[in-house]
Structure 1
Amino acid sequence: MSGTKRYSDVTKPLSPGPSSIQNLDLSEVFLPTQNHRSVEKKPGRKRRLWIGLGLVLTATGLSLLTGLLVWNFHLRSNVTVKRLYVGSLGISDRTFVKEYEDSSSQEFRTLADQVSQQLKLIYSKNSVLAKYFRSSSVQMFSEGDDSAGVVAYYQSEFQLPVPQQKHVDEAIGSVEELSRHERLLLRPVEPLRVRSVTSGALDSRLSKSSLSEREPINVQVQTGGEISSPGFPDTPYPANMYQQWRLRAEPGHRIQLNFHTLILEDDCQQDFIKIYDSLAPIEPRALTEQCGYPHESLSFLSSGHVMLLMLVTNEEKNFPGFRAAYSQIPISKGEGCGGRLTADKGSVSSPFYPSNYPPQSWCEWNIEVSKEKFVKVQFETFFVGNESKNCVGDYVMVNEEKLCGRTLKKTVFTVQSNQMTIRFVSDASIVDQGFSATYEAFVPSDPCPGRFQCSNNICINSTLHCDGWNDCGDDSDEVNCNCEASQMKCKNDHCKPKIWQCDGVDDCGDKTDEEKCAGSCADGEFSCRNGRCISENLKCNQHDDCGDGSDESKCAKSLLLRCSDFTFRCSDGRCISKLNPECDGEPDCEDGSDESNCQCGMPPFRSSRIVGGQTAREGEWPWQVSLHFDRSKHTCGASVLNNRWLLTAAHCVQDDRHIRYSQASLWQAFLGLHTQGLTNEWTVTRNIQQIIAHPNYNKVSFDNDLALMKLDSDVSLNQHIWPICLPSSTYDFPAGQEAWITGWGTTQEGGELAKSLQKAQVRIINSTVCRGLMQDQITDGMLCAGVLKGGVDACQGDSGGPLAVTNPSGRVFQAGVVSWGEGCALRNKAGVYTRVTKFCDWIKQQTGV
């Protein structure tokens, strides 16, 4: 988000065995003695008698214990359990008819009976399965892919001893091999030609007795539409529910399911959704399992024309649920996946990237660049399967090197040839977002013409060489550098800007830049927040040696101290030493006031474009507000303080020669908004009733750049509209701490406003360093943050929005309000924010928050 001076654009069976053993008190096997002295150190007949009796009783006890263990093992080995397996069976010599969709029709019953007999014959080929098999039933039929044949979805029941479960699971895995290319005779009926069989154990969470299974919902995908959890968005989904949505597209098409919202309990053992590349919950066809409030890609595709979505909930903590859009996509040969590439530069990506790739995909790119040149490929994103030694499952292969996992040890791969082959393969189950990569040809003698070549073969702009930043990713651009006059040399020979010295952050990586600083403490000493130095040995000794409590501020136990600018004041007037105790989930004040008023910074149901930023997920920043002036476009940002009050920047509401920005009735606030011009059920619009700019706001220096807005009526707080936490006046936001800026401001200086809400990560910058960067224009009421490398910053249109910091318990506090800066995202320039801690009392006096 990038102008100068201001950022507004105001222009089951259990064995009794173990419990029997646990309840056995072995001490009762031995007779107690009434007089210990009478049996100590006195050899003789009486002692030998007691020893003999003890040995007999010990042997008896051990025999009893051994008998119990043998009895228990024998009992458990004879306890049988019912185990269900769900699967599909492809039939190539049957034509699908509509009657197969009606389980009461004669056609359905006839074919279902044949399938059941077929399964019995298949199981009979394996001695383990044959021994424990009881029955099979067919739940439904569907057309085969490309209208070829019929697919039967079945459930098979086995009754087996507990110790045999693993063996049966393994045997089920061989069913597909047993049935492959077989035409098993079902005399006296006509035989079936089995094309494929897939089977897996039923997810144990689906067999809970408390679950209420609802009638499956059948969805025809042809025309597109939406599905949502029961009650969404008005009420949370019901408890103890098991609901299926069976999606069917036209043969020759695949299904795409895009989640608009997904908010479930964080624990997947409680509430979860699961998607299958099937019409039945066949585990080897599970594409994904999701719970909580996931932030990764939530767009899923099937390999064929069927898909199953399943929602399972437990008895408590019910959440809003989900809404998802479905559509069908024709399956065309290649689908833009693979092919021959002859240009000297290009890009490749997994199918449908950035959506999750479909299962059972296979793509191959054959790259051939100009002769006399070599080829290199650089992966920009990579999320492909699970990392394993041999990349079992999904993988990418560059020539003969297999790659998988969610990170790569190296991202650039080269070949000493003008030809390269890249192959992508996904199996039938769990999918991921995939990869994107670029390739280019290079002359072997000059692999990075006009640029600097990193050790990992990445090419970067030559101006980035020895600039103090790790642009290569392996630090090779910062090795063996001759430091310029504006730089300092670290002990590790890296060069860093001198302005970073003594800013409280270890920029060198070896603390060189934080040594010998004025007012700094010697080795073995602790630096107090008030500037004093004490021995490190005095930390956490339950005594205030610093005089401001900072030596006891990060200890397990907090001290009661004399109140100061460095201590937190409880509601009873007493002060404690703990640093930032408010709303951290641990009561530290005797009256519990540090944990009161904590309905902020963490939306309900979650247990846990800016320049250079990225698009935020919907509902990710529920305190972000878009302010529109005179029913026009987005003008400034603001944050939600409660159901009636907003916090923004004073410069947003200052009149100019022609426009009265201070007039409340001309402003509108959009809460719960994600995309400008596109409202939904979460978006709430309110007029502004009152504006209170800070009385000491300075139009020249931008000091005290803060304003409050009162809505004309209350708003209902929910997952998408929620207050951010206000810090206490003593809250510490140290230099180097990560923070987030959000807004719809321009994505480059002088550019257009962002359509969707943007987010970017910055870090708090030491005030002394910032004064040097910004020519001493920084006051005590200002806070600096940014990325001194440049490229990430707030910009026009972001003014008034929050600078947000997350505490260790996951609660978000507002550290600053976007105020001003010089340009947008410039190198060695910071964004300047109003320091919220300086104005807490004023905000509370005006709003009662």
Structure 2
Amino acid sequence: MGTERMDNDTGSGDEDAPPPSHLDNASVADVSVEVATVDHMLQKVRRKYHHTRHCRKRRSPKKRFEELWLGLWTYPYLVVVVVTAVVFAVVVTVWALLWVFTFRRESNNGVYFAGMIRVANEEFIPEYRHADSTEFLSLARKIELVLSNVYKGSSVAKLYKQAVISDLSNNNLGGVLVHFWMVFEVPQLKSPAVCEECVGAILRDSVLTSLQNRTSVGYLLDLPVDIESILIYAAQRSDYTSTSSGSECVDKPYAPLPGTSVPLELDPPRGGVSCHVKLTSAPGSVVRLTISSFLIQPSDCVGDALTVYDSLLPMRARTLHRVCDPVTGPLYLVSTSNVMLLSFRLAPGTKSFRGHFQAVAEEACVSHVETQEGAGYTGHIYSPFHPSLLPPKCICTWLFGTPSPSLGVSLKFHNYVLRPKDLKPCTHGWWKVNHLIFCGSYVGYSTVFRISHPSPEVEFRCSSRQAQMPFQAAYGSYNLSQREHTGGAWGAC
């Protein structure tokens, strides 16, 4: 019955529908295929997953880093890196240009001055000779503050940078001599506003307004300063740095007593050296330097040179002498006060310096000279501190006397000549014979100078800023009736 009912139901369906047995077979086949396909895909995914996991476990940190690095250099990351590098390069370049054309230009616009003042009413103590002593530093700070206040309240206040105390010394006037540097930052367009005369005038005017009656001492704030001691000289940056942090060696020997000889030796390394030796002697004396030997290569002062200054700072305006050739025999130099600076600049090579210095009493050069009748030349007169080179400032006077009013004085110079002064200044010695003025100059032959007076007064003054060659002259008498002039001679009444 049940079979029949099923048959009847089936028979009443669509004629085009497939038979039931055929439909069941197709569905089972499709399901089998799909199940097989799914199983196959699952197995492939499972194998791939296990393979990937196995590979990840076996990769080393180095491998991972390499993969990460390669990933960074994909296109987006590469653009970021390149842009960052370009921006960094631009920033560095702009900063370098600013430093070269702005900051460096400002540092190159520094204007330097070397100066000296005498602080009165201040007792000099030995500790002041040492720049690292507590006493030196205390006084130096006080003076630096005073100088800064003076210039910060002046017309160049915006240009003033600093004052640096270099040395403290003493002389026979008492008090303390202060050697200092002053630095200004001056744009090129305003460079005429800071000149040697301007800077010196500011300091002098500050003292001038407070001068005490009948004295040369005034006040910079509360600091008593001798206005006549104020010296201001223009300097170069190399002068300033050579005696500070740029200097390879600085020595400060001292000669305590006149006649005491202090040895000087310098054996620099073969690599060359820049060295400064600051000589000081007792108050009331001058420094006499003796160069026994100086082994260098002749270079016209380009490579090797010794510059001697009449100060404790390398002031070009106070240059005594320059040595640019080897010295094998003694060479003598004398300062105008109790200080002297030796500045060595030696190129690489074997170099050496030998010498000594001593304190020489500062005495008046006045001599009474008596001639003899008919005996020819009987003695000699010498330039001050002979055989030393002539210092920039010196005075010497000879008072001659003859045994008869009919005799005059004859001077025979070895390599020197006197001529009447004209409109030009005397550059190699200024002479006053009685009331007539003559100029001296060096020549390569002997000359005779006759003075037609039995008791003339002859005064000589050094007239060069730098040391000059010494001179000497033989003296004698001659008969005033003899009017001939020989060897370039001149007469004086």
Separation of aligned partners in 1, 2:408 and 2:470: 26
Matches within 5 A, 1:138-537: 138-143=165-170, 145-146=171-172, 148-162=174-188, 165=191, 168-172=195-199, 178=205, 181-186=216-221, 189=222, 191-203=224-236, 205-206=238-239, 212-222=246-256, 223-231=260-268, 236=270, 238-239=271-272, 241-265=273-297, 266-293=299-326, 298-314=331-347, 316=348, 318-331=349-362, 333-334=363-364, 337-344=365-372, 346-369=379-402, 370-382=404-416, 390-391=424-425, 395-399=429-433, 400-407=436-443, 411-426=447-462, 429-446=465-482, 454=486, 456-457=488-489
What's the CA shift for 1:173? 6.1
Separation of aligned partners in 2, 1:363 and 1:176: 34
Q: Is structure 2 residue 119 aligned with structure 1 residue 85? A: no
Q: Is structure 2 residue 164 aligned with structure 1 residue 133? A: no
Maintained 8 Å contact 1:217/1:245: yes
| Equivalent AA in structure 1 for residue 198 of structure 2 | A
Separation of aligned partners in 1, 2:184 and 2:430: 39
Deviations 1:676-711 (A, max 9, x none): xxxxxxxxxxxxxxxxxxxxxxxxxxxxxxxxxxxx
Separation of aligned partners in 2, 1:176 and 1:419: 48
Separation of aligned partners in 2, 1:441 and 1:175: 55
Deviations 1:526-555 (A, max 9, x none): xxxxxxxxxxxxxxxxxxxxxxxxxxxxxx
| Equivalent AA in structure 1 for residue 474 of structure 2 | T
| Equivalent AA in structure 2 for residue 422 of structure 1 | V
| Distance change (3 Å), C-alpha of 1:277 and 1:124 | same
Give the equivalent residue in structure 2 for 1:68.
none
Separation of aligned partners in 2, 1:149 and 1:403: 38
Gaps of 5+ in 1: 1-76, 459-849
SS of the equivalent of 2:127 reads helix
SS of the equivalent of 2:430 reads strand
Deviations 1:755-783 (A, max 9, x none): xxxxxxxxxxxxxxxxxxxxxxxxxxxxx
What's the CA shift for 1:172? 4.7
Moved more, 108-117 or 268-277: 108-117
What's the CA shift for 1:112? 1.8
| Distance change (3 Å), C-alpha of 1:202 and 1:228 | farther
| Distance change (3 Å), C-alpha of 1:455 and 1:347 | closer
What's the CA shift for 1:405? 3.9
Maintained 8 Å contact 1:263/1:291: no
Deviations 1:718-746 (A, max 9, x none): xxxxxxxxxxxxxxxxxxxxxxxxxxxxx
Separation of aligned partners in 2, 1:432 and 1:78: 40
Maintained 8 Å contact 2:119/2:223: no
Matches within 5 A, 1:556-571: none
Deviations 1:539-594 (A, max 9, x none): xxxxxxxxxxxxxxxxxxxxxxxxxxxxxxxxxxxxxxxxxxxxxxxxxxxxxxxx
What's the CA shift for 1:358? 3.5
SS of the equivalent of 2:182 reads strand
| Equivalent AA in structure 1 for residue 129 of structure 2 | E
| Equivalent AA in structure 2 for residue 417 of structure 1 | H
Deviations 1:12-64 (A, max 9, x none): xxxxxxxxxxxxxxxxxxxxxxxxxxxxxxxxxxxxxxxxxxxxxxxxxxxxx
Separation of aligned partners in 2, 1:155 and 1:419: 51
| Distance change (3 Å), C-alpha of 1:193 and 1:206 | closer
| Distance change (3 Å), C-alpha of 1:254 and 1:383 | farther
What's the CA shift for 1:281? 1.8
| Distance change (3 Å), C-alpha of 1:396 and 1:147 | closer
What's the CA shift for 1:258? 1.1
Deviations 1:445-465 (A, max 9, x none): 2357xxxx637349xxxxxxx
| Equivalent AA in structure 1 for residue 264 of structure 2 | I
SS of the equivalent of 1:213 reads coil
Larger Rg: 2
Maintained 8 Å contact 1:297/1:355: no
What's the CA shift for 1:393? 5.7
| Equivalent AA in structure 2 for residue 83 of structure 1 | V
SS of the equivalent of 2:128 reads helix
- Could you say which structure has the higher strand fraction? 2
Deviations 1:368-408 (A, max 9, x none): 32312233322213499xx9963356513042233244338
SS of the equivalent of 2:231 reads strand
| Equivalent AA in structure 2 for residue 92 of structure 1 | A
Give the equivalent residue in structure 2 for 1:467.
none
- TM-score, normalising length: structure 2: 0.63
Moved more, 148-157 or 273-282: 273-282
What's the CA shift for 1:431? 0.9
Separation of aligned partners in 2, 1:83 and 1:93: 32
Separation of aligned partners in 2, 1:357 and 1:413: 21
Moved more, 244-253 or 99-108: 99-108
| Distance change (3 Å), C-alpha of 1:372 and 1:263 | same
| Equivalent AA in structure 1 for residue 218 of structure 2 | R
Q: Is structure 2 residue 137 aligned with structure 1 residue 109? A: yes
| Distance change (3 Å), C-alpha of 1:126 and 1:356 | farther
Separation of aligned partners in 1, 2:357 and 2:407: 46
Give the equivalent residue in structure 1 for 2:15.
none
Maintained 8 Å contact 2:396/2:460: yes
SS of the equivalent of 1:338 reads strand
Moved more, 189-198 or 90-99: 189-198
Give the equivalent residue in structure 1 for 2:37.
none
| Equivalent AA in structure 1 for residue 287 of structure 2 | I
Maintained 8 Å contact 1:297/1:356: no
Name the % identity: 20
| Distance change (3 Å), C-alpha of 1:219 and 1:427 | farther
What's the CA shift for 1:409? 9.5
Separation of aligned partners in 2, 1:441 and 1:252: 37
What's the CA shift for 1:363? 1.2
Maintained 8 Å contact 1:377/1:412: yes
What's the CA shift for 1:242? 2.0
What's the CA shift for 1:311? 0.7
Separation of aligned partners in 2, 1:79 and 1:172: 20
| Distance change (3 Å), C-alpha of 1:184 and 1:225 | closer
What's the CA shift for 1:410? 8.6
| Equivalent AA in structure 1 for residue 121 of structure 2 | D
Separation of aligned partners in 1, 2:462 and 2:319: 13
Gaps of 5+ in 2: 1-104, 209-215, 373-377
Separation of aligned partners in 1, 2:331 and 2:153: 41
| Equivalent AA in structure 1 for residue 486 of structure 2 | C
Maintained 8 Å contact 1:379/1:437: yes
Separation of aligned partners in 1, 2:182 and 2:167: 14
CA-atom RMSD in angstroms? 3.7
| Distance change (3 Å), C-alpha of 1:367 and 1:95 | same
| Distance change (3 Å), C-alpha of 1:83 and 1:396 | same
